[in-house]
């Protein structure tokens, strides 16, 4: 449950900053397509958000290891 809470907090921050992002920018590779294919179904949309989270988590971990 703590991971879900963290995910939801991160996603809330992303949605708050989304208007500042350029329209052509995508949250993560394939995110826009995934959301379009979700058909507005919440569980499907959460799956898309989980994929985006995993993408950025992996990038963060890779860059953190390089920085160390």
* % of the chain beyond a pLDDT of 70: 75
Q: Does the pLDDT at position 19 exceed 70?
A: no
The mean pLDDT value for 3-21 works out to 68
- Please state, in angstroms and rounded to a whole number, the distance separating the CA atoms of residues 65 and 62: 5
In the structure, how many helices (H) and strands (E) does the chain have? 3, 0
Cα angle at 54 between 37 and 52, to 5 degrees?
35
Q: Does the pLDDT at position 62 exceed 80?
A: yes
Total of domains in the chain:
1
pLDDT in tens, 38-47: 999 999 999 9
Domain containing residue 10: 2-67
Q: Does the pLDDT at position 23 exceed 60?
A: no
């Amino acid at each position: 449950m703590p991971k879900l809470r963290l995910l939801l907090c991160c996603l809330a921050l992303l949605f708050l900053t989304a208007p500042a992002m350029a329209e052509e920018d995508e949250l993560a590779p394939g995110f826009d397509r995934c959301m379009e294919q979700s058909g507005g179904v919440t569980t499907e949309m959460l799956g898309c958000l989980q994929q985006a989270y995993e993408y950025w988590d992996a990038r963060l971990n890779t860059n953190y290891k390089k920085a160390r």
